[in-house]
Structure 1
């Protein structure tokens, strides 16, 4: 995917805003994604508040963005929580860095806010050869891009539902995000599992080719030992929403939502909005203060807004997918902004 740099993104979104005080560099994901919406909205909020202008590069690979923030080469990025975890150990995509250097770099990452807006779902076309989502043997299932956190989560979902492993009990299908819809609508998979924001344009596009059914995680499986391990795994957070709200988000589309109770329950991909630990405390405070004051803009600027699980309240750590197997500390300036706004901040996120 071609990367695109948005110069003065905030100014474009808020042309009457006052002149910003500083210019910051940021990277985010492709348009249409939850991180992209959050970052471009934050750009508008910061510009309106006269705090900063964000120079945003979109279509970035967040593995690289997290490392750039840790190295002090970038001012801000959205970070799937699993990436600082992997960096701190010098494993996975950071294996070339090594454990010692990875730990040093991870120690230079601080969060100013969190969100967990994408729930892991399982779906299939209504005419697919699936009668029970606990019996997926022999199927072709799209479970993520070729590598990364989404693939790990996708494999975990199928393991939880059916006890099957990729390449053994079923055939895992992986390709790049831009090819996902085409692969599924073209018949390249019998079913799919994807971390999705709500409502998901991707699921709506898939449903345009024929009616689909989306499932949450059955209650007994979610409460099982494996289910709770997956919810607490690095990069995950709990996710629960009244099923009628979930259905309403897809009203008008040929999408059926199936749960075994009155809530849509799953595990979410946990994100932190990160900056270098070396960022000036007053600047981090002003950024976070503007973020908290901009809550209404975040919630109303997109149909996804109400479902982003953004941290506009108390920070307890666990709800943010933090303070367990993964711990991403908050910037002191951000903590000051939260406490000044009357919110509590757990000790486990304090530097």
Structure 2
């Protein structure tokens, strides 16, 4: 934590028997309208209300940098796509400059306090755009992510899966920082876009305010293909499927058309974890997670996307959360203790 503040009052939301010392924590999250932003800002409100901590949040962060900052102990909390600790542990991708040995050392300093999978990959375009077939995207300018990181990897995978094209080879990938996504799309600078979004997505609703849009899932045959299954099973991904009528209902009242080839909206989810440094005080981690678990109703009712976040308010098996496979990551002992105190189980593969 960055600095100790005044002694807080006894935790109001949960039955702690001793008063918690309120602290000031730093956190970084993605841009407004995204599911990680909602999770982190709601968590901050829950912790403030519970007297556990005051959280100073930086919005619109590049989460690649945030993950490294947590690993180095320069940041207290961050929303982390699960692929990023995986890449860091190997010193590859956006962490190639770190190297394998240092990357493994840094990744070992990351701990999870809870999981979520609030976003899934979509492909979209304005109804006026020159997109006739999502399998034929040759020559288009497509926004596919921020300049680097997990979202860019997932976005490039989506275009390769849909149209068999690689960024710079068949289409022009456009990347901007998260705070600039909406302006980049609404300005007409791209023909289409792909991004990880919650449901409903504030980002897509803002984009649609400038004109009708169409959003697509992954066609069934492509999702079932060898490449499709590789992408779904890739580190940091998980399957996503929802009845299309429920999906459409989430965007009711907006000029957003949903296109699927069957009765479900199918794609791949981005598995996330809320991470902290391994050295975070165990009692503080316990208090944070205890307040998180007690705040379930607030998380699920404060936004329309709340019920669709796949937040871990119960037993945690690891596999469903995108861990305990290629991604090797551990939970903080204080978080484990909080889950068990609430009557939930934690998979052995998540224990330090």
Decide: shared fold, TM above 0.5.
Answer: yes
Q: Is the 8 A contact 2:60 2:179 kept in 1?
A: no
Residue 224 of structure 2 is aligned to residue 234 of structure 1: no
**Alpha-carbon distance, 1:310 to partner:** 1.0
Distance 1:157 1:126, change over 3 A: same
Tell me if structure 2 keeps the 8 A contact 1:122–1:194: yes
Measure the CA separation in 1 of the matches of 2:28 and 2:37: 6
The alignment covers a number of residue pairs equal to 342
2:79 aligns to what SS in structure 1?
A: strand
Preserved CA contact (<8 Å) 1:28 1:62: yes
Q: Contact 1:232–1:324 (CA<8 Å) still a contact in 2?
A: no
Worse-matched range after superposition: 50-59 or 33-42? 50-59
| Contact 1:222 1:266 (C-alpha < 8 Å) held by counterparts | yes
Deviations 1:192-246 (A, max 9, x none): 1111112222212222222211111112211221111111212222222222221
Corresponding residue for 2:150? 149
Q: Aligned residue for 1:76?
A: 77
CA gap 1:20/1:62 in 2 versus in 1, 3 angstroms: farther
Report if aligned partners of 1:295, 1:312 keep a CA contact under 8 Å in 2: yes
Higher mean alpha-carbon deviation, 172-181 vs 242-251, is at 172-181
2:34, 2:197 within 8 Å by CA — same for their partners in 1?
Answer: no
* TM-score between both structures, scaled by the size of structure 2: 0.89
Given the alignment of the two structures, is residue 23 of structure 1 paired with residue 23 of structure 2, yes or no?
yes
> Which residue is 1:253 aligned to?
254
1:189 counterpart SS class: coil
CA distance in 1, matches of 2:151, 2:196: 7
**Once the two structures are superposed, what CA deviation does each residue of 1:82-126 show, in whole Å capped at 9, x if it has no partner?**
221122122233233222122111111110101111110011122
Q: 1:67 and 1:167 mapped to 2: Cα distance?
A: 28
Q: What is the CA distance between 1:262 and its match in structure 2?
A: 2.3
Query: Cα gap change, 1:333/1:179 in structure 2, threshold over 3 Å: closer, same or farther?
Result: closer
Change (3 A) 1:209 1:48: closer
Instruction: Give TM-score, length-normalised by structure 1.
Output: 0.89
Q: Which residue of 1 aligns with 2:133?
A: 132
Structure-1 separation of matches of 2:13 and 2:241: 39
Deviation per CA, 1:19-44, whole angstroms, max 9, x where unpaired?
86231422222333322221221122
What's the secondary structure of 2:349's corresponding residue? helix
CA distance in structure 2 between the aligned counterparts of 1:56 and 1:209, rounded to whole angstroms: 29
Deviations 1:275-303 (A, max 9, x none): 12222323222211211111000011112
Higher deviation after alignment, 237-246 or 100-109:
237-246
Shift of 1:274: 0.8
Residues 120-269 of structure 1 aligned to structure 2 (within 5 Å): 120-269=121-270
- Aligned equivalent of 1:48: 49
